[in-house]
Amino acid sequence: MTQDVMTDLSPYHKNDLPPRRLYTLMLLLGLVLGLFVARLVGLQILQNQVWEARAQENRVEVLNLRAPRGAIYDRNGAVLARNAPAFNVVITPAYLPEDPGMVDHIFQELSALLGVPVDFGEISPANPYVPCRSQHGIRQIVFYGLTTAPYRPVKIKCDVPRAVAMQIEERRAQWPGVGVEIEPVREYPTGESSAMVVGFLGPVPEALADYYEEKGLDINRDKVGYAGVELYYQDLLAGRNGRRVVEVDVAGRILRDLEPPQNPVPGTSIRLTIDWRLQDIMYTILVRELKEWNAYFGKERFKNAAAIAMNPKTGEILGMVAVPTYNNQIVSRFIPQDYYEYLTTAEFKPLLNHAISAEHPPGSVFKIITATAALNEGIVRPNQIIKAPGTITLQQKFFEGDVGKPQTFYDWNWERGGFGELEFLDCIAWSSNVCFYKVGGGYFDEIPEGVGICRLGTYARAMGFGAPTGIDLPGEADGLIPDPKWKRIFQGENWSTGDTYLASVGQGYVLATPLQLLVGASTIANGGKVVKPTILYQKLDAEGRVVEDFRPTILRDITKDPVIEVYENPAGIGSCRPTGETKTVQPEVLALVREGMRRAVLDGTLTRPFEGFPIPAAGKTGSAEYCDNRAQAENRCQPGNWPSHAWTVAYAPFDDPEIAVVAFVYDGTEGAKVAAPIVRQIMDAYFALKAQTEE
């Protein structure tokens, strides 16, 4: 029976599958297996380095270790910029309670304390989380941290008050995962009085991200200089960040160091040449003088001014101020929106260092350059009597052989009939325009050949005009010493004799910065040495020891270095044709110009402002007419009655100068009335401080 059953069932156990179907199945299985093998070979052998590198990236992390930024001091050690602790509130997601209700409770209490919403703004590629800079809710920031590196703290709010930080520290037990992180921020104790020199820090600009990343900075954390010394000496002050290569797990926990850590190198601290006591007084003087004059006029007329004090022998900047300015303490962390709008929209650009970056016609202060050229070229003798009526008529010529047409030029006291006659050195003392028109461009038989624009230009450039002085501050302007070629290119006209007359008195196309005028005057004061102005006095190591001291830089000595070019056509009608020859300035010529500047104090335009000044001083005033966009908008560019800037430069003691000061007031009318009192008060302050120090 059993055998029969087995016999009956045997057909069901027979393999009746056609061979071709079996082969097809085996082929498919082989293909699938082959694909797996091929993929395995690709991943394990062919792409081994790629995937190994990715695994290494997940396992290895390079930590950027912040280097302490160097401090900034004045020459006497007063702090101008330092690192101060800032308190950031952070949450480590992995250490938060497991109970969602407790987490929500912590978020609510933290939100009430910090003013940060619990839920706000989803984090996305279009709205990324940037610590301390982007705005997101607590929950979104924590979720971001939880999904990236739960054992790494994420910043909820930065730079909270110390009292708030202490409250959070007191609640550590009730708020697990919440803590306070301390990081350094820049602090500027002296504020706006020194902001123009010191500058401030800000986030790494997006356009310079690659540049600073190559220098080892963390572009999302580190701040860099935006202005002043902070910008110019960025690399020196920043030091060099350290580096730590560590192994991490998938949660971001650091397991071990894979390489010996590279410790950060602290930034170099520096002392500046400025004396903050003088700097603060200079700023106070400038603000007070403008305020008093505005009260006198009954409106805010004087808004822009600058003053610089320098050692004329060494180039050390003793003080540099400008108005308007900004408070770098306000902008050192997060700039309030209203203050940002003020800085970016104010009429006279508070972020611009007007002492080195603003170009204006120098006016009569420039006459000391014309006088140097005229005496050195033998155009005029020091005791030569020059007729100086209120007006003169000159022939305006545009090319050689041009008959020209008459044009009238005015002295500043033309309404009183001018000066009559003046000895040339008194032309300097009384700043006679007519005198310098004649000397600069020539005047018939009285002065047959003037200095001319070609010679005037080479003397001006040799004494520091027409190019940056090289001061170690960012944003210095070139100024402008024009010539016939420049005018043809930029004005589309030939040079004229009238252009030379105007340039001789610092008008027309001539432009200069306050610093250039100070360098030019210092060259005369110190006997011919063109000094490079500097703001850096000493470099200090981390322990405060001096590692590099100040050394003055003499760019050239115009009494020894042959830098004055000789021209075939010094007048410049047509073009300036240099011969290739050069010459120097005779020391006695500079002595004569100094004598003219001394007479300005004894019996000239500076007599009243320097009345009672106990130290022999010398100087030059200037009232530079201008017609810019502001004046045109106010319809003030009236022929014969243009508005004018006020200038004064002076130095003391006369026979052995140790300080030179320049003051500029935009639209300040007369230099002797507005700028000269500023210079006098600054000198008073300098010598008073010197006396206190020597006691």
Secondary structure, 3-state, 20-66: HHHHHHHHHHHHHHHHHHHHHHHHHHHCHHHHHHHHHHHHEEEEEEC
682 and 282 Cβ atoms separated by less than 8 Å: yes
| C-alpha dihedral sign at 431, 435, 437, 441 | negative
The tokens for 401 are 């052989």
Domain boundaries, the chain: 21-58, 66-272, 297-327+353-694
Report the distance separating Cα 616 and Cα 618, nearest Å: 7
CA distances from 102 to 105, 144, 194, 253, 454 (A): 5, 19, 50, 24, 83
Structure pTM? 0.88
Domain 66-272 belongs in CATH node 3.90.1310.10: yes
Instruction: Please tell me the predicted confidence (pLDDT) of residue 17.
Output: 63
Report the distance separating Cα 186 and Cα 199, nearest Å: 11
131: nearest Cα among 149, 93, 158, 96: 158
343: nearest Cα among 195, 515, 132: 195
Sequence-ordered alpha helix ranges (H) in 346-393: 354-357, 367-376
Residue 546 DSSP SS3: strand
Residue 459 makes CB contacts below 8 A (sequence gap 6+) with: 369, 372, 373, 376, 451, 564, 585
505 and 433 Cβ atoms separated by less than 8 Å: yes
Instruction: Please tell me the predicted confidence (pLDDT) of residue 246.
Output: 83
604: nearest Cα among 436, 430, 434, 428: 430
CA distances from 58 to 51, 108, 244 (A): 11, 34, 16
How many other CB atoms are there within 10 angstroms of residue 558's CB atom? 28
Residue 221 DSSP SS3: coil
365: nearest Cα among 147, 620, 694: 620
Task: To the nearest 10°, report the CA torsion of 386, 388, 394, 400.
Answer: 20
- The neighbouring-strand residues paired with 567 are 578
Report the distance separating Cα 425 and Cα 122, nearest Å: 76
Q: Which residues of the chain have pLDDT under 50?
A: 1-2, 5-7, 9
The tokens for 111 are 């939100």
Report the distance separating Cα 604 and Cα 594, nearest Å: 14
Instruction: Please tell me the predicted confidence (pLDDT) of residue 695.
Output: 72
Instruction: Please tell me the predicted confidence (pLDDT) of residue 10.
Output: 53
The tokens for 532 are 């490079």
494 and 520 Cβ atoms separated by less than 8 Å: no
CA distances from 386 to 128, 433, 447, 593 (A): 75, 12, 9, 16
Instruction: Please tell me the predicted confidence (pLDDT) of residue 49.
Output: 67
Half-sphere exposure of 235 (CA within 13 A, CB side): 6
Instruction: Please tell me the predicted confidence (pLDDT) of residue 583.
Output: 97
Report the distance separating Cα 580 and Cα 528, nearest Å: 22
236 and 222 Cβ atoms separated by less than 8 Å: no
- The neighbouring-strand residues paired with 679 are none
| C-alpha dihedral sign at 597, 354, 326, 267 | negative
CA distances from 240 to 64, 264, 499, 551 (A): 10, 6, 53, 26
Burial of residue 452 (CB within 10 Å: 0-12, 13-18, 19+) is buried
Cis omega (within 30 of 0) on the bond before 643? no
Which CATH superfamily hosts domain 297-327+353-694?
Answer: DD-peptidase/beta-lactamase superfamily (3.40.710.10)
Cis omega (within 30 of 0) on the bond before 609? no
Report the distance separating Cα 507 and Cα 437, nearest Å: 11
Sequence-ordered alpha helix ranges (H) in 82-174: 100-114, 138-148, 162-170
The residue count for the chain: 695
Instruction: Please tell me the predicted confidence (pLDDT) of residue 11.
Output: 52
Instruction: Please tell me the predicted confidence (pLDDT) of residue 1.
Output: 45
197 and 276 Cβ atoms separated by less than 8 Å: no
64 and 218 Cβ atoms separated by less than 8 Å: yes
Residue 128 makes CB contacts below 8 A (sequence gap 6+) with: 134
- The neighbouring-strand residues paired with 647 are 622, 664
Instruction: Please tell me the predicted confidence (pLDDT) of residue 402.
Output: 80
Beta strands at 317-323 and 242-248: parallel, antiparallel or unpaired: unpaired
Burial of residue 146 (CB within 10 Å: 0-12, 13-18, 19+) is middle
Report the distance separating Cα 203 and Cα 217, nearest Å: 11
309: nearest Cα among 597, 663, 689: 663
Quote the crossing angle between the two packed helices 433-441 and 497-504, to the nearest 10°. Answer: 130
What value, to the nearest 5°, has the Cα angle with vertex 660 and ends 658 and 664?
165
307: nearest Cα among 322, 326, 289: 322
